[in-house]
Structures are given as C-alpha cells and as structure tokens.
Amino acid sequence: MSDSLAATFAEHGLRRGDRLAVFSDSWCESALALLAALKAGAIACPINPLTAAESLTGLLRAWRARALVTEARLASTADSVRLVVLAGTRGHEPAARCIRFEDAIATRQVVLPPGRAARDIAFILADDRPDAPPAASLVRHQDLLALMAAEPRRGEEDAVITSLRLNGKAGLAQLFAALRDGITLMHSSSGLGDVRPLTPSVASSRPAQSMR
C-alpha cells in the first residue's frame, strides 16, 4: 500500500525535497503516508492531530507544503497546497486537486523515484508544547536510522502496542523499527479497547531497505 501511495505522490508531481504534511486522526493512515513520503523522496511533516484546525493553514504555509494527507472534513483548510489526499470521503465527491485515500493506495504498477541520500531531510517535526516558542526540528535519514538502531530488535512473531504519536521522534523510531523487524505494531489511543494494527504487509516493504 505504501508503495502505491508513494507512486501516487510522484505521479502528481511530488519530487525529492518537496514537503508533505500529514494531519489525521487515523494512526494507520498517518503511518502509511509517512512511509510513502520517504519512498517518494519527500520530506514528511507530521502534525499533531490535536492541533486546532484553524492553525493548520498557517503551518502548511510556514512549511511550504506541496501536498497534504488529511481528513475530508479539513479539506477547506488546505488552500495553499497543490495536492490533497483525503480520508473519510465516503458519500462525498472530492474537489479539484483532491483525491481519495483509498484511490491513492489502489494496486497499480509502481515506479518509485531514486533513493535518498543519508543527509537528506526525512522529517520536519514541530515543537507543539504549549510552553515552548514556535520551533521545528529536522530529522535526516541518517538520524532516523540511528533512532531505529537504538530500538531493541524483535522477532517477526512479536507484536507491540504503542500509544506514541507519530509527530515525535520516539513514535517514529518505534514505527520504523517495527517495520525493520517485520513485527506487528498496534496503536492504542484510548487503552487496550481501541487497538489498530499496522503490519508489514500493509506497509508493503521495510524502510531500512529503501533508505540507502
């Protein structure tokens, strides 16, 4: 799925170094979008899903985002973005420059762009603490590999439940280490009663193989 999503980004003009923002309540869709952004050579900009919708427009402009993955109900906040991939469009026809998430991950002949360099920027992470001044940190591909290396190795039969968000280094490290090891990573936003799995088959391929 992430390979197909990356190909969709490339088909719609996303190039190496372009910035793709992800603002979604869905952990699994966010994870797929972040992985696909890296495969397309883009810089992923995950936004805390608790961020007020009215703040989204300012962030997109500040980051010069070229594309956005978000919920259909938030499409009107993305006027400055050329491509919007929308989740939750059932019963609604996407507007111009918008495509459905389910269409973007549909099976297709996948042609991915060339790989990234180790010093290329992989993520831009906003510091969204209420007591901190507006700031952002850059995570390069070599930094991501170092974060993954610090995570313990696990066997493919293992499963891990996490409550970490994907707009921080800890959450990203856990996600990509799980994909590296081929384990099932499950996200719980409200305790063990609401667990959503992300498996290697959903991700399509492991990122450690594509970040050379």
CB 6 within 8 A of CB 112: yes
Calpha distance 10→16 (Å, rounded): 9
Q: What's the pTM?
A: 0.84
pLDDT reported for residue 211: 40
Asked whether residue 111 carries a pLDDT value surpassing 80, the answer given is: no
The values of phi and psi at residue 26, to 5°, are -85, 115
Tokens of 7: 């190909």
CB burial of residue 109 (10 Å; 0-12, 13-18, 19+)? exposed
- Residue 111: strand, helix, or coil: coil
Asked whether residue 195 carries a pLDDT value surpassing 70, the answer given is: no
Helices (H), the chain: 2-11, 27-39, 53-63, 101-104, 141-149, 169-181, 200-203
Mean per-residue pLDDT, 118-129: 83
Calpha distance 101→41 (Å, rounded): 19
pLDDT tens string 8-20: 998 888 999 999 9
